Amino acid sequence: MLEIKDFPKHIGQVTDWIKEYYSTIRERKVKSEAGPGDIYNLIPPGIPQESVDFDQILEQFKSIVVPGMTHWQHPNFHAYFPANGSIESLFAEFITATLGAQCMIWDTSPAAAELEERMMEWLRDILGIPKSWTGVIQDTASSATLVALITARERATNFESNENGTPQNLRVYSSSQTHSSIEKAMGVAGMGRKNLVSIGVDDQQAMIPSELESAIISDLEGGKKPCAVVVTIGTTSTLAVDPLEQIARICEKYKVWCHVDAAYAGSALILPEYGQWMKGIEVADSFVFNPHKWLFTHFDCSVYFIKNQEELVRCFSILPAYLKTNVLGQVNDYRDWGIPLGRRFRALKLWFVLQSYGLQGLQETLRKHIQLADYLYQKLKDLPNLKMICPPRLNGVFFHYNHDEGKEMSNKITSEIHQKINATNQVYLTHTVVNDIGVIRVICGQTYLEKADIDKTIDIISRNWNHTHETIRTDVN
């Protein structure tokens, strides 16, 4: 059992490991090769009766846990969306853990509340969100979207659902490409998953506004109550962007809440060249994006902005006597701005990152990733039978094997190549399905990504692609 006085003795061991981890990350296999139960079986079934020496705990961490980890900070991790961090954010997390503060209300750590308030203003202004909006840090975009839909539900029911239960005729609309967290939120908010209406997309996988309007009209005629629309800026599958302005105008016309889910692509909105995606934001009601995905700030850090703070607080505020303070009303008590009471001090890592990079540094790093994705696209696009489903979107490239025999054969070969690439364990890619076609996705978003890392990815993809292609040709001949 360690005492405070033991700290200096062991801190060096921990930082030595961190140093070693960062300096060898490129040499590591990206994905753990552990099978189901492998790690579990290495951990004793019960708590030790006597204290285990810290040196031994650290050794066990290295020998049991590290081999069972997938290395999300590895530059050749191109799967899902990244959950990237940075040295600045790491230091802040270290300090946050040192302080060990629980920042549920202003009184429990004034600096945490006020730093959060300022960070929300900094981000709001660089994202192009109106100055009258306010923001709060949530754990994830899923939670923020749940909060948005609950607030929309309350507004649509004259703030009665929290008290009396939720009517079953409230309808929410999002494109067929929307993230699964919207459907989950429908269930959790008591509106029912079946009341999520899926709106069709165009050939760019973006929501078709006329279909949205038709669906709203049809619901109104059928006695349903349109409640909210979720607009996605940067879909999970292919980074498609819904036309915010047109959709927000429809929401305005039918008095429907407009929530913008920019969980991943939101970071790109600090680049003036993508500012047009935010046209119409002033007509929307809420917006979420995750600095913990692509703004070099460790998980978890999701930022939620809202036009009408009073509506939010009215939904989530519960004031037992033990939480009443004498500064009530003068400060932000963020426990009233979301679901959990307890809150981590997440603003510190944002502050460290935003200051250390500065706006220019953030923009340069994002642009570098976007350029590297374009470079990868140019190098891969002429591979035999490779079909890109669209030009690169931000830092994402999406392609599949296009076989003359049609979708089934194309899917089989794409999947085969994908598996071979991942089996090298030198890069990690995930897939999606677009119009029944299996598609490989490559996201180039790791904080310290370099051209040499992308060259490695290009080489591994090309070698496996060409080899599979040649094998097919030989089989046919």
Give the binding site for ligand PLP (CB under 6 A). Answer: 81, 140-142, 179, 181, 232, 234-236, 261, 263-264, 290, 302
Would you say 263 or 417 has its CB closer to ligand PLP?
A: 263
Contact status, residue 307 vs residue 286, Cβ threshold 8 Å: yes
- Looking at the Cβ atoms of 161 and 302, the one nearer to ligand PLP is 302
Q: Which residue's CB is nearer to ligand PLP, number 242 or number 453?
A: 242
Judged by CB, which is closer to ligand PLP: 86, or 236?
236
CB of 94 to ligand PLP, least distance (A): 23
Min CB(288)–ligand PLP separation in Å: 8
The neighbouring-strand residues paired with 442 are: 397
What residues have CB less than 8 Å from 434, skipping those under 6 apart?
Answer: 205, 237, 238, 389, 398
Structure tokens given for 260? 């913008």
Q: What is the smallest separation between the CB atom of 459 and ligand PLP, expressed in angstroms? A: 28
- Cα within 13 Å of Cα(34), Cβ side: 17
Q: Tally helices (H) and strands (E) across the chain.
A: 14, 11
Shortest reach from residue 343's CB to ligand PLP, in Å: 16
Q: Which is nearer to ligand PLP, 140 or 309 (CB)?
A: 140
CA atoms within 13 A of residue 122's CA, in its CB half-sphere:
17
How far apart (Å, rounded) are the C-alpha atoms in residues 65 and 67?
6
CB of 261 to ligand PLP, least distance (A): 5
Give the nearer residue to ligand PLP in terms of CB position, either 303 or 380.
303
Distances (CA, A) of 72 to 12, 69, 76, 273, 447: 24, 9, 9, 28, 11
| Cα–Cα nearest to 223, from 188, 251, 195 | 195
Instruction: Decide whether 290 or 422 has the Cβ nearer to ligand PLP.
Output: 290
- Tell me phi and psi for residue 393, to 5 degrees: -110, 120
Q: Is the CB of residue 441 less than 8 Å from the CB of residue 400?
A: no
If you search the block for the tokens 């995606």, which residue do you land on?
Answer: 277
How far apart are CB 180 and ligand PLP at their closest, in Å?
8
Q: Least distance to ligand PLP from the beta carbon of 83, Å?
A: 8
User: Of the two residues 116 and 139, which places its CB atom closer to ligand PLP in the complex?
Assistant: 139
In sequence order, the 6+-apart residues with CB closer than 8 A to the CB of 150 are 189, 315, 316
Q: CB of 235: closest distance to ligand PLP in angstroms?
A: 6
Q: How far is CA 405 from CA 399, 412, 477, in A?
A: 17, 11, 16
